[in-house]
Structure 1
Amino acid sequence: MNIEEFRELCLAKKGVTEELPFGPDTLVFKVMGKMFALMSLDRLPPQCNLKCDPVRAEELRETYDGDIVPGYHMSKVHWNTLFLEQLPPQLIVELTNHSYDLVVSGLTKKLQQELKNLG
């Protein structure tokens, strides 16, 4: 999966915005103002950071040794860095959905309701 395909995947989700709060080289995707994915625009090979359940994060790092690693510049417990070109696209979709769902589940009930009400 390339950078543009990953960007389109993230933006297709309900309530998602993209920002550059850390400078022009890091694209951040948020749902209802909460970060669920980051993508470096200048690192090669292409990579992204996704939030992940801590137990699953460890399992993924073991299974995809070198292609999924502890989150670069993030909490190593809750975030993974994925090397996009080395992983099956369906896995990237699944892990992006997982990250999005984790963040949505942590939103306040009010924000969750606002998200449901979005067109």
Structure 2
Amino acid sequence: VEMILGDTRRTPDQGPTIASASIQVSAVPLRQAAAEARRFLLRQAGSHFPVHPDSLRSENGQVFAAANPQRRIGYGELLRGQRFNLNIDGKAPLKPRSEYRLVGKPVRRGDIPAKLTGQLTYV
């Protein structure tokens, strides 16, 4: 999920950037968007697995049946290069905190090299 910031016609209205509050404001909508995308991908994968959709899991960009984790299909194969737009209704189940693997850990930021080299265009 890529979150576009700054265009409130297409994104959550984050209000002003004050005291590093952006993450507190944007985290919930971003989690909801990720949950909706995951639910969509699991539904798409349903036709590839002869199991109930509730028994499908996702991990590392792949979907698999919990009973047979060796047989997997990648997100890219499911989407076949197509973009998708979903309405976020807030009803897709969020990942439980007990399943977090990255939250609270250092993660390499993809935007830093462009900032350091001056390639990033600022408004």
Per the shorter chain, which TM-score range? under 0.3
When the two structures are superposed, what TM-score results if normalisation uses the length of structure 1?
0.22
Structure that is richer in strand per residue: 1
Bigger RCO of structures 1 and 2 (CA < 8 A, at least 6 apart): 1
When the two structures are superposed, what TM-score results if normalisation uses the length of structure 2?
0.22
Structure that is richer in helix per residue: 1
